[in-house]
Amino acid sequence: MLLQVFCILAVAIIMCDASLAYISIHRRTRMGTRLGVTLALAGLAMLCYLLSLIFGNIYTRYSILTTSYFISIDFLLLSLLVTVSFFIRLPSRNWHKIAFLVLKIFMLFDIAMLIVNIRWSHCFSYSAVDPEIGLYEYKLQPWGYVHVGYSYVVLALIFAMVAYKFLSVPREYKITYGVVVAVLIATVAFNNISLLLADRESWLYNILDFSVMGYSLGAYAIFWSTFRYRKHGLLNRLKMEVFDKINQGIVLFDDADELIILNKKTEELLPKIRFREGLSLNDFAAQCNIESLTGIIREQYSIQCYGGEEEGKEIPLRCDFRVIRNKQHQMIGKLLVFSNITQETDFLTGFHSWENFKEFITHNTDALPDRMRVIVCDPNRLSVTNSTISYDAGNKVIKDLSRLMKKHMPKDTYFVRGHDAHLVALSFSCIEEDVIDYLEMIREEFKDLYSNGFQYAVGEYDRRKTDLLSAVQMTCIAMRNRKLLDQESIHSSSLTSLIRALQECDSDTEEHVKRTMKMGAKLGRRLGLSDIEQSDLALLCILHDIGKIGVPLEILNKPGKLSQDEKKTIQTHVEKGYQIAQSTKELQGIAEMILYHHERWDGKGYPSGLSNDNIPILSRVIAVVDAYDAMVNDRAYRARLTEAVAQNELMENAGTQFDPVIVSQFLQMLRDEGKIVDSHEKQVVNNIVVKGFNIDFSEREDKAENHVHEVVHTQYFLDEQNKILTVDDWFEKLTGYTEEDVQERKLSQMDLIPEEDRTEYMIKTGELLASDSMAYLEHRIRRKDGTDIFVFCMGRVYFDPAVRANRSQIIVTNLRDTYSLKHYAIKEQKGNTP
């Protein structure tokens, strides 16, 4: 029975030796080749020994096979020695070469003696026995001790080299060599203990032959350490060492948003976080006091937060978030890297310092979203506070304003300390109206602390149109423009001097400015102008005619008709106004708008003959507002016109002198204010003749039944985990789910999307929201009854200040419920396809 077990193991080892030898040699490296040869010799030695047991029933054959086994052992040991020298990276020395040469010569001598032993038994003698394994036993003769001595010398050298390496390498590398040492010790110990204790009658005698397998096991240990452990196990250990030693906090969550691993630095940076197995990403974000990361759509971005305390102050951190995907683009985890940015942070506010922020954003262009709201705040009359009270008092103003910004702005806002007292906030997920609401809350609370208040401007960053630093710069300019208009700001004094100079030319300037600013602000909101454009428009309302201070008063206030030369002189006021604005840093942003505010829609204006959209939009707006105010108020050269006549003038010149869309919006604004009451005037407003086309609004009521229709839709809201919060009456009609179903089942947006569409839906939604604040999609919804319908869907993510969390607004309409599809479907059925 023992013979069969041995034979099975021997065959398995021989096959394993052959396979690993092929794998090693196939690697085509010096180490691989040497190890491959060693494995092949180990397999050969095992094969010779196995054959001697199976076919050794004849003395001569047994002697030849046993001698072949001993010779294979000689070659194997020397090959193993060479392999180990490469394995431990033994440096090349002259005495090493001499030692190897001596061993080779001695091996050749030993081989010669073993061959001679087949005829004359001066090394080993064989006697017939009848144990369970083998038919003969061999006894050492005088020259046989030379062979055994040679074998033990080589084994001792191998053991010494590996043991020395094991003791000298760092702890992380010890397992690489420790396995080989352990196998060598076990093999030698097993062989020697068996020899010392065994006799023919004991069971140890019968298992003595299993010790020959130890040579193969030694080679396996080297193979594992070289090609498996070094590549995977050791690499993983080193990765963990680097992972723990890196000077950044690293946290990894799996695809189910549960904590997988974190390093020691994370615990140092975030000592207040209660880390536990299965900690969810949402709970982790809440403990870090940062925006929830579970429902995010962006693949990567950076956010500011605060960790433990150092010298009584919270440590400012930057959290770099990144979604990890595999080759199939499936999300497999979420990585958060926390960096201590104390050295990069403004000491007073805790905001990212401007110079470090510029360097950071230059080298990490993908760290922030493609679109953001840019907010710049600046305290009023700060220089007065610094000069009349103290710089400490001024610093306290800045510090309090920064504190209120962090308190009221969304959690995912990125704060930067700009030049001077400019405090910059980059809001990832807010629309402009929401941002202004937050700023007004800050303003109210700031007013309770300081009577001077502060000024702000809101801009937009869009990667497709500009770079982030330029967007911040443009918003800073808009904020300075606001300060020019703010009487509480010291900067307004320079504007006041310009207005006074203009009043000397035109006594009605002050009232004219107030009227145009009021109308301009209302019209700007109707046109959807951005906060920056509104700031520029307010300044333009004041200074569009600033060039008139360079026009002689006798021409400017001449009551009669002007000559051609006088007209040309007055027309020069746009170039003069442009030069004045260009010479003043705060006004350079509106210089071109001043220059072109007398251009005409049809290209017949001055000074450059621009037309249509080539004229800056604010120049087109001020042209309408200024013309209307001039017509309805007394001028030096004529009496005022009635509002009806002035409105008619605007309408008649829409599409020639004025932008027709702006005229239409302006007249609609007047209508909403009740300033157009006569039915004839309504008819005129409803029919604006535009050069090249006619917009006839008077037909709307007659044709509404056929062409204008209400779209039946449902509107509902989602929380940060995309769970449905509230629904309207139409939700059940569209989806089949009642409000009770939504609450009981805790339905999410994904529950409405067919399972096979969900991945595509998430990817497409993410792409759209990464480039725009709103997403428009056509997709399928799976109703409660299991049927699918195609819908149009509009969605946006916004920040809800009431709960201080992100919310999503979704508006959905069934395509089949739209009039156009029903109407054209009927026509197709009648054979009248449009």
Is the pLDDT assigned to residue 689 strictly greater than 50?
no
* β strands within 256-342, DSSP E: 259-262, 300-310, 313-325, 331-340
Rg (C-alpha) for the chain, rounded Å, is 44
Burial of 242 (0-12, 13-18, 19+ CB in 10 A): exposed
91-137 per-position pLDDT tens digit: 777 777 888 888 888 888 888 888 887 777 777 776 665 544 445 66
Lowest mean pLDDT across 114-123, 662-671, 700-709, 785-794: 700-709
Residue 404 pLDDT exceeds 60: yes
Strands 724-726 and 300-310 come out as unpaired
Q: Residue 445: pLDDT band by 50, 70, 90 thresholds?
A: very high
- Higher pLDDT: 119 or 750? It is 750
**Whole-angstrom distance, CA of residue 815 vs CA of residue 448:** 52
For Cα atoms 673, 675, 678, give the angle at the middle one, nearest 5 degrees: 130
CA atoms within 13 Å, Cβ hemisphere of 626: 21
Confirm if 594 and 606 have CB atoms less than 8 A apart: no
Mean pLDDT value across residues 43-62:
78
DSSP-based three-state secondary structure for 655: coil
Instruction: Determine the Cα–Cα distance for residues 245 and 233; give it in Å rounded to an integer.
Output: 18
Cα–Cα distance for residue pair 545/556, rounded to 1 Å = 12
Rounded Cα distance between 572 and 548, Å, is 8
Residue-level pLDDT at 597: 92
**Contact 690/663 with Cβ under 8 angstroms?**
no
pLDDT digits (tens, 9 = 90+) for 128-177: 655 444 456 667 677 777 877 888 888 888 888 888 888 887 776 677 77
CA atoms within 13 A on the CB side of 660: 18
CA distance linking residue 405 with residue 412, whole number of Å:
12
- Lowest mean pLDDT of 431-440, 510-519, 686-695, name the range: 686-695
Contacts of residue 411, defined as CB under 8 A and 6 or more positions apart, other chains included, come to 289, 290, 291, 804
Give the pair of three-digit tokens for residue 436.
């202004």
The answer on pLDDT for 621 being more than 90 is yes
Q: For residue range 267-291, what is the model confidence (pLDDT) as tens digits?
A: 888 888 888 877 888 888 888 877 6
What mean pLDDT, rounded, does the chain reach?
A: 78
Under the banding of pLDDT at 50, 70 and 90, the label for residue 724 is very high
pLDDT tens for 228-248 read 555 555 455 555 566 666 778
Q: Count the Cβ atoms, other than its own, within 10 Å of residue 795.
A: 18
94 exposed, middle or buried (CB, 10 Å; 0-12, 13-18, 19+)? exposed
pLDDT at 759: 80
Q: How far apart are CA 448 and CA 587, in angstroms?
A: 32
Separation of alpha carbons 537 and 524, rounded Å: 8
Strand partners, 13: none
- C-alpha to C-alpha distance for 523 and 528, rounded to whole angstroms: 9
Alpha-carbon gap, residue 187 to 10, rounded angstroms: 16
Q: 247: exposed, middle or buried (C-beta count within 10 Å: 0-12, 13-18, 19+)?
A: exposed
Contact 793, 809 (CB under 8 A): no
Among the listed residues 812, 800, 810, 802, the one whose alpha carbon sits nearest the alpha carbon of residue 429 = 800
Assess whether pLDDT exceeds 50 at residue 646: yes
Decide if pLDDT at 619 tops 90: yes
In DSSP terms, 181 is beta-bridged to none
Specify the pLDDT at position 51.
84
- Which has more confidence, 818 or 469? 469
Residue 423 confidence class, pLDDT cut points 50, 70, 90: very high
Residues of the chain above pLDDT 90, percent = 7
The percentage of residues in the chain with a pLDDT greater than 70, rounded to a whole number, is 78
- The answer to whether 426 touches 373, Cβ cutoff 8 Å, is yes
pLDDT of 128 reads 64
Which of 312-326, 338-352, 819-833 is least confident?
Answer: 819-833
Q: How confident is the model at residue 827 (pLDDT cuts 50, 70, 90)?
A: very low
Supply φ then ψ for residue 807, to 5 degrees: -135, 155
User: How confident is the model at residue 226, as a pLDDT?
Assistant: 61
Considering only CA atoms, which of 420, 382, 378 is closest in space to residue 402? Answer: 378
Whole-angstrom distance, CA of residue 747 vs CA of residue 737 = 9
Cα separations in angstroms, 249 against 243, 423, 548, 748: 9, 28, 63, 33
Q: Is 426 helix (H, G, I), strand (E, B) or coil?
A: strand
User: Would you call 192 helix, strand, or coil by DSSP?
Assistant: helix
**Separation of alpha carbons 43 and 49, rounded Å:** 10
In this predicted model, what pLDDT tens digit does every residue of 3-41 receive, in sequence order?
677 778 888 888 888 888 888 888 788 878 888 888 888
Query: What is the spatial distance between Cα 123 and Cα 354, in angstroms, rounded to a whole number?
Result: 86
Whole-angstrom distance, CA of residue 788 vs CA of residue 804: 35
> Looking at per-residue confidence, does 574 or 584 come out higher?
574
Q: Which two tokens stand for residue 336?
A: 């958060």
Question: Ranked by mean pLDDT, which of 185-189, 541-545, 804-808 comes out on top?
Answer: 541-545
Mean local confidence (pLDDT), 659-688: 67
Other residues' Cβ atoms within 10 Å of the Cβ of residue 235: 11
Structure tokens at 552: 């002689």
Instruction: Give counts: helices (H), strands (E), the chain.
Output: 33, 19
How many residues in total does the chain contain? 834
More confident site: 679 or 339: 339
Burial 643-661 (b: 16+ CB within 10 A, else e): bbebbbbbbebbbebbbbe
Whether residue 669 is predicted with pLDDT greater than 80 in this model: the reply is yes
Q: Which residue has the tokens 């109407």?
A: 823
Q: What is the secondary structure of 741-796 as a DSSP string?
A: HHHHHT-BHHHHS-GGGHHHHHHHHHHHHHH-SEEEEEEEEE-TTS-EEEEEEEEE
How do beta strands 352-353 and 414-417 pair?
parallel
The pLDDT of residue 834 is 39
Three-class secondary structure of residue 601 per DSSP: coil
d(CA 483, CA 356): 27
Q: Of 308-312, 376-380, 400-404, 667-671, which gets the smallest average pLDDT? A: 308-312
CB 624 within 8 A of CB 586: no
Q: 95, 3, 96: which is closest to 49 by C-alpha?
A: 3
Per-residue pLDDT tens over the stretch 493-550:
556 666 666 666 665 667 778 888 889 888 988 887 877 888 888 888 888 888 888 8
Mean pLDDT of 475-494: 67
Q: Which residue type sits at 78?
A: L
Q: Which of 131-145, 341-355, 738-752 has the highest mean pLDDT?
A: 738-752
Task: Specify whether the backbone of 225 is left (phi greater than 0), alpha (psi in -120 to 50) or beta.
Answer: alpha
Give yes or no for a contact between 463 and 370, defined as CB atoms under 8 angstroms apart.
yes
* Angle 432-617-526 from CA coordinates, rounded to 5°: 50
Look at 54 and 422; give whichever has higher pLDDT.
422
Residues 6+ apart with CB under 8 A from 829: none
Closest CA to 804 of 409, 300, 461, 310: 409
* pLDDT at 598 (0 to 100): 92
* Dihedral sign from CA coordinates of 92, 93, 95, 101: positive
Catalogue the E-assigned strands of 55-195.
124-128, 136-140
Half-sphere exposure (CA, 13 Å, Cβ side) for 662?
Answer: 30
pTM of the model: 0.49
Burial of residue 718, with CB atoms counted within 10 A of its CB: 0-12 exposed, 13-18 middle, 19 or more buried: buried
